[in-house]
C-alpha cells in the first residue's frame, strides 16, 4: 500500500479530472534546536483536488499541522514547492489568501474581547462588511453569545468562532486542523454537518484529523502521511478497497478447514474466537475447497476494511518519535 500513486491533475469525485487547489512537491521542513536537527516533513507530495472534503490523516507528530502551517505562510519550508489555486506560495499567498479560510490547531483570539469584536477586527482587516460577521455567527450558531468575552467561551464555542472566522472570507478552500477537538458529541455532529454542507456547496475542505470514523463519514478523498511522508492518497473508497480482500469463515473444525484452504491456495489465519480469516475475494472458491473435504460452513462473511484498519496498517510503527515535534 505504501507508495500508492498520488492523484495528479486529479481524480476527483466520480472520476472527473479536476484542478488541484493544493499541491506540494518535495516539501521539507527541518527544525533545529539544542538537541539537533529534526525533520518534521520529508519531501511531501500532496495533491488536493477542487471540490469535496479531503481528509488529511496521520498520527500525532506526523507533520500534518506543520504542512498546513507552511501552506498558510505561518512557517517557512526548508525545501520544496507549494501551490494554492495554482499560485506559488508563500510568494503569492497574498493573491489567494482571500479564497482560503483556515483553523490551525486550537482557535486563537484575544481573550478579553467579545466573540463579535474578535471577528470584527478580522473582517475589517480584509474590508469585509460588518454584516458578514452576523452571517458567520448565524452559520455557526453563536448568535446570542457573541457579546460574551472569548475567554468565557467553552472549547466548543471557541471552535465554532474559529470556523465563523474562516467563513468571513466566503472561502473556496477551507483548511481545518482537528476542528472537532474538545467538542461534545452534539458539537461534533454539528461541525461535521457544517463541513459536509460546505463540501456540497462547492467549497474544497482539507480536513486534518486523527478521528478516522469522522474522516470516513465526511471525506470523499484522503491522504495519509506518517513521519512527514505521504503513505497513501486517493478516493476514500479506493483506499478502503486496496489490498487483498478477505472473508470470515466459521466451521466446526477450524484446523482441518485451514489445511483444506491452504491446499487450495487460499491462505487463512485463525482469529482469537476460532473463526478463520481467508484472504480471498472468491467466496465460491472457499465454499468449494471446504465442501471437497466435507467441512461445512456455519458462516461466510465478506470483510470490508474500514479506514482505521487501512490507517493502522499504513502507519504501523509510525508513533511519534524524535521527528515531527509539531
Partner 1 sequence: MTRLLLVELTRLRWRRAVVLLVLVAVVIPMVVLAVRAWDTRAVSDAERAEVRAQIERDFGVPDEVIAECLARPRQYFGPRAERFTPERLQRECSRTVGFRPTVSDYVGREPLTLRNELTTSGFGVVAVLVVAMLLAGTTFVGHDWSSGSMSNQLLFEPRRLRVWAAKAVAVGLLSALVATVVLTVYWGALGLIASARDVPQVDGITGEVVESVVWSVLLVTGAAVGGYALTMLSRSTVFTVGVLFGVSIVSGVLLAALPDGAVRWNPGTNAFAVVNDGAVYYVEPPPSCFVEQDFESDECRGEREVTRTQGGLYLGGVLLLAGAWSASSYRRRDVP
CB of 171 to partner 1, least distance (A): 11
Nearer to partner 1, 73 or 267 (CB): 73
CB of 280 to partner 1, least distance (A): 50
Secondary structure E strands in the chain = 20-33, 36-49, 53-57, 79-84, 87-89, 100-103, 173-177, 204-209, 221-226, 229-235, 246-251, 268-270, 276-278, 297-303
CB-CB contact of 179 with 207 (8 Å): yes
Nearer to partner 1, 102 or 218 (CB): 102
Nearer to partner 1, 86 or 200 (CB): 86
- Rounded (10°) angle between helices 115-125 and 130-139: 130
Nearer to partner 1, 98 or 279 (CB): 98
CB-CB contact of 257 with 286 (8 Å): no
CB of 88 to partner 1, least distance (A): 13
Residues that bind partner 1 (CB under 8 A): 69, 72-76, 90, 93-94, 97, 100-102, 104, 106, 108-113, 117-118, 120-122, 124-127, 165, 169
CB of 31 to partner 1, least distance (A): 9
Nearer to partner 1, 38 or 117 (CB): 117
End-to-end CA distance of the chain: 26
CB of 121 to partner 1, least distance (A): 6
CB-CB contact of 304 with 240 (8 Å): yes
CA nearest to 299, candidates 311, 290, 312? 290
As a whole number of angstroms, the distance between CA 281 and CA 99 comes to: 45
Amino acid at each position: 500500500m505504501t507508495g500508492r500513486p498520488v492523484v495528479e491533475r486529479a481524480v476527483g469525485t466520480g472520476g472527473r479530472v479536476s484542478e488541484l487547489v493544493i499541491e506540494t512537491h518535495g516539501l521539507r521542513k527541518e527544525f533545529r534546536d539544542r538537541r539537533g536537527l529534526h525533520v518534521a516533513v520529508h519531501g511531501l507530495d500532496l495533491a488536493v483536488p477542487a471540490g469535496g472534503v479531503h481528509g488529511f490523516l496521520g498520527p500525532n507528530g506526523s507533520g500534518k499541522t506543520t504542512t498546513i502551517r507552511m501552506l498558510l505562510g505561518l512557517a517557512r519550508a526548508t525545501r520544496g514547492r507549494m501551490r494554492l489555486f495554482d499560485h506559488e506560495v508563500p510568494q503569492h499567498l497574498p493573491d489567494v489568501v482571500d479564497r482560503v479560510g483556515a483553523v490551525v490547531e486550537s482557535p486563537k483570539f484575544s481573550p478579553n474581547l467579545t466573540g463579535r469584536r474578535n471577528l470584527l477586527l478580522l473582517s475589517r482587516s480584509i474590508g469585509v462588511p460588518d454584516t458578514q460577521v452576523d452571517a458567520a455567527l448565524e452559520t455557526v450558531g453563536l448568535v446570542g453569545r457573541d457579546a460574551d468575552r472569548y475567554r468565557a467561551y467553552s472549547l466548543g464555542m471557541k471552535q465554532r468562532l474559529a470556523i465563523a472566522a474562516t467563513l468571513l472570507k466566503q472561502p473556496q478552500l477551507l483548511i481545518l486542523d482537528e476542528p472537532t477537538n474538545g467538542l461534545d458529541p452534539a458539537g461534533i455532529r454539528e461541525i461535521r454537518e457544517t463541513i459536509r454542507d460546505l463540501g456540497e456547496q462547492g467549497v474544497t475542505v482539507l480536513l486534518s484529523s486523527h478521528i478516522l470514523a469522522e474522516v470516513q463519514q465526511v471525506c470523499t478523498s484522503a491522504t495519509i502521511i506518517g513521519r512527514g511522508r505521504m503513505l497513501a492518497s486517493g478516493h476514500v473508497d479506493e483506499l478502503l478497497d486496496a489490498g487483498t480482500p478477505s472473508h470470515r469463515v466459521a466451521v466446526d473444525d477450524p484446523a482441518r478447514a485451514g489445511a483444506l484452504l491452504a491446499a487450495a491456495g487460499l491462505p487463512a489465519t485463525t482469529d482469537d474466537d476460532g473463526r478463520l480469516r481467508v484472504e480471498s475475494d472468491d467466496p465460491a472458491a472457499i465454499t468449494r475447497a471446504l465442501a471437497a473435504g466435507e467441512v461445512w460452513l456455519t458462516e461466510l462473511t465478506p470483510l470490508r476494511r474500514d479506514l482505521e484498519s487501512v490507517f493502522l496498517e499504513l502507519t504501523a510503527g509510525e508513533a511519534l518519535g524524535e521527528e515531527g515535534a509539531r
